[in-house]
Amino acid sequence: MRDYLLDLVQHTHDLGCIDLVKITGTDATTAINGLAEDKSVVVEAQFHNPVPAFIGTFGMPNLSKLKILLNLQEYREKATITLTKKATGELDGLNFDNASGDFTNSYRFMTTTVVNEKLKTLTFNTPTWHVEFAPTAAAIQKLRMQAQANAEHNHFQAKTENGDLKFFFGDHSTHAGSFVVHSAVGGQLKRAWSWPVIQVLSILSLTGDKTMRISDDGAMQITVDSGIAVYNYILPAQTK
């Protein structure tokens, strides 16, 4: 249980913009949905294997509190994390007990009705992905350096030139920078969409195997496979 919760928190809350997720669990699948408060990132995820305890639909709010509980020294080893239920059988929350049973905490879930209202179903029509590639550690590091060198710019643009994918910061009227993200991508990006630097870099800094997809129709998807779950982060483009 603890491993599932830690993975979920790391790949949602640790982005810095998500503090509530919706869990939808059946015997066959356990899905996770989340939305950044500024709507800059949509998360659609699924555990590799269904979590038997997570049957039903409920919300996990205040992920910052859940992260604190998971990382308290008393709960790092030999702790017991149990699910609690209401009289109706609906999942109610989590109880944390240390090994000796003298240190306890509770964490409450959000009801189905409330989480459905707060995270209304978002329909994402998968576009044509014009560029798809696996970003290298070197490319992610270059993005990190360009973000540092161009800290005054909150967004960057993605374009293809001579078959190579390049990220651009600024323009001819400002301090500017660019770099080749991936060579010979095989597709074309022609439109001047802008993408949020902090969110993209935060996702690419997560643990796991990554794949990036960009559509010239105005969408980016970064998939991160943590080994426990597959997380799809969808970012709508912005016009400059």
Residues of the chain with CATH 3.10.150.10: 2-118, 131-239
Is the separation of the CB atoms in 53 and 23 below 8 Å? no
CA atoms of 165 and 145, how far apart (whole Å): 17
pLDDT attached to residue 122: 61
Summarised one tens digit per residue, pLDDT across range 156-208 is 999 999 999 999 999 878 889 999 999 999 899 999 899 999 999 999 999 99
Q: Alpha carbon of 186 to those of 22, 162, 192: distances in Å?
A: 36, 10, 19
Query: What does the block give as tokens for 143?
Result: 């993005």
How much is the pLDDT for 213? 97
Six-digit token string for 175: 């301090």
Q: What is the CATH number of domain 131-239?
A: 3.10.150.10
pLDDT digit string (tens) for 29-65? Answer: 999 999 998 888 999 999 999 999 999 999 999 999 9
Q: DSSP E strands: which ranges in the chain? A: 21-25, 30-35, 42-47, 56-60, 80-85, 91-97, 104-108, 131-133, 155-161, 164-169, 177-182, 193-196, 209-215, 219-225, 229-236, 238-239
What pLDDT does 162 receive?
92
**Could you identify the residue written with the tokens 């509530």?**
20
3-state helix, strand, coil in the chain (%, to 5): 20, 40, 40
Comparison of pLDDT for 108 and 122, the residue scoring more = 108
- Candidates 74, 70, 93, 71; CA nearest to 82 is 93
Q: Which CATH superfamily is domain 2-118 in?
A: DNA Polymerase III, subunit A, domain 2 (3.10.150.10)
The 10s digit of each residue's pLDDT in 137-153 is 999 999 999 999 999 99
Q: Which two three-digit tokens encode residue 199?
A: 């969110």
Q: Find, among 14, 9, 53, 12, the residue nearest to 30 by Cα.
A: 53
Percent of the chain scoring above 70 in pLDDT? 98
Q: Among 129, 132, 158, which Cα is nearest to 143's? A: 158
Q: CB 5: neighbour CB atoms within 10 A?
A: 19
pLDDT attached to residue 174: 83
Three-state SS for 7?
helix
